[in-house]
Structure 1
Amino acid sequence: MASTHPDRRKLYVRIADELREELAAGKYPIGEPFPSIGELAERFSAAKMTVDRAVEVLRGEGYLESRQGSRTMVIALPESQPDHAGEPEHSEEFHVLFDQLQEIRTQLKGFAAKLAELDQRTKNL
């Protein structure tokens, strides 16, 4: 039976969830290119920034890897999720905190890369 309650999750969260389910189902095999942001934006009728944020969630979870100048690649697959029908969804507060943690993780990765670069440049001083 379908839920009569509207899905109040942010669009990028819904997109990330759908893509995660497709990854778990094997639609995108490990080592294969993931669809581009443009392709996904068209598919979901969403702004590229929204889709990029959804893909960033999956990157942060360790399923995708992106390198400048190359396509995003699938590097891991989530385990298939059992059907949780009837179980409550995460609260909006959970999603807000999760989003904040993802942003912190992204910033920490950037700081770590900058620190490694600085360490390399100052190694012989």
Structure 2
Amino acid sequence: MVKHTGRPAYLQIADDLRAQIRGGSLAPGTPLPSTARLAEKYDASLSVVKMAVSLLRNEGLVIGQQGKGVFVRDPAEAASAAPAGGDLASEVAELRSAVQELSARLAKVEQQLATSTSPAGRRGSR
């Protein structure tokens, strides 16, 4: 059950499932209970449970198989699937750079549109 501690419910659920995985009560290859069962167990909404499972998926602890469910990964596979700290930092830096570049390009396009749709810009195009 999720406690009212101020910590988001999805993080509490992810923490509990992570502890079960690391503690061995959810062994590699074991399917996680369905989203509906987890929602019932933790007295949480389906979307909150999905967020928790998604977090574990991003950490490489579980893997989803379309139409079959979500399964606990083997620790060796999970370690190789999780991004290394340095790789993640460089990826974030690349994303920030791309966002800055796109923001600058968007500003130019907006400026061009504003100029071309102004009354002075329309008169010159006739």
Q: TM-score of the superposition, structure 1-length normalised?
A: 0.55
Q: Which has the higher contact order (CA 8 A, sep 6+)?
A: 1
The structure 2 residue matched to 1:13, chosen from 11, 14, 17, is: 11
Q: Give the Cα separation in 2 of the matches to 1:69 and 1:49.
A: 19
What is the identity, as a one-letter code, of the residue corresponding to 2:73? I
Cα deviation per residue 1:23-55 (whole Å; 9 max; x = unaligned)? 111111101211111110000010000001000
Q: Which runs of 5+ in 2 are unaligned?
A: 76-91, 96-126
Structure with bigger gyration radius: 2
After TM superposition, what 4+ stretches of structure 1 lie above 4 angstroms from structure 2? none
Cα deviation per residue 1:84-115 (whole Å; 9 max; x = unaligned)? xxxxxxxxxxxxxxxxx8xx9xxxxxxxxxxx
Matches within 5 A, 1:73-112: 73-77=71-75
| Match status 1:33 vs 2:31 | yes
Change over 3 Å in CA distance of 1:8–1:76 after alignment to 2: farther
Q: TM-score of the superposition, structure 2-length normalised?
A: 0.54
Q: Which runs of 5+ in 1 are unaligned?
A: 1-5, 78-100, 105-125
RMSD: 2.2
Q: How many residues are aligned here? A: 75
**Once the two structures are aligned, what percentage of the paired residues are identical?**
35
Q: By percentage of residues, which structure has more helix?
A: 2
